[in-house]
Structure 1
Amino acid sequence: MGEKKRKSENKPDFIFGKKNYKWLFIGLAFIAVGFILMSGGGSDDPNVYSDAIFSWRRIRLAPTLILIGFGIQVYAILLNPNKDSNSES
Structure 2
Amino acid sequence: MLFDKKKYWWLIAAVVLLTLAYVLMSGPANSETSQFDESIFSFRRITLAPLLIVGTYAGLIYLILKRTKNACSERKGK
Partner residue in 2 for 1:34: 21
For 1:5, the equivalent position in structure 2 comes to none
Whether 1:74 and 2:58 are equivalent positions in the alignment is no
Moved over 3 A (4+): none
Q: Give the corresponding residue for 1:24.
A: 11
**Structure 1, unaligned runs of 5 or more:** 1-13, 85-89
CA deviations on 1:18-60 (whole Å, 9 max, x unpaired) are 1221211121122111101101254201101100000000000
**Structure 2: gaps of 5 or more residues:** 71-78
- What is the DSSP-based 3-state SS (H/G/I as helix, E as strand, rest coil) of the residue aligned with 2:62? helix
TM-score if structure 2 supplies the norm length?
0.78
The one-letter amino acid paired with 1:38 is M
Alpha carbon RMSD of aligned pairs, Å?
1.6
More helix by share: 2
Normalised to the residue count of structure 1, the TM-score between the two structures is: 0.69
